[in-house]
Amino acid sequence: MPAPVGGAAADSLGARQIGALAFAVARERVAASVLVPDAAIRAAQRALWDAARVVAEPGGATALAALLCGAWKAPAGARVGVLVCGGNCDPGSVAG
């Protein structure tokens, strides 16, 4: 069933419909998902730029945004890695 798509990261993360194979895998393997506000995504983009001069696209900054805004909390003692991508970003969009 088609779903509406919108927000800062919609161009890279906003699939309008999931395929049967991907849905079956997600239903079996994905424990939870979280929603991350657009403002948190933009803040993560700015934080990456300010701290490391990394230009990240909105979809590439979303995992970091989930951590920074508290939408997802790592289990105690966990070691967390975040993959960041900047291939679909206007560098001017993160400059403050």
The model's pLDDT over 26-77, given as tens digits with 9 standing for 90+, comes to 999 998 889 999 999 999 999 999 999 888 988 889 999 999 999 999 999 9
Note the pLDDT of residue 33.
Answer: 87
Note the pLDDT of residue 71.
Answer: 96
Beta carbons of 73 and 57 less than 8 angstroms apart: no
Note the pLDDT of residue 67.
Answer: 96
Beta carbons of 42 and 54 less than 8 angstroms apart: no
Considering the entire predicted model, what is its pTM? 0.79
Dmax (CA) of the chain:
42
Beta carbons of 49 and 96 less than 8 angstroms apart: yes
Domain residue ranges in the chain? 10-93
Please give the Cα distance from 40 to 38 (Å, whole number). 5
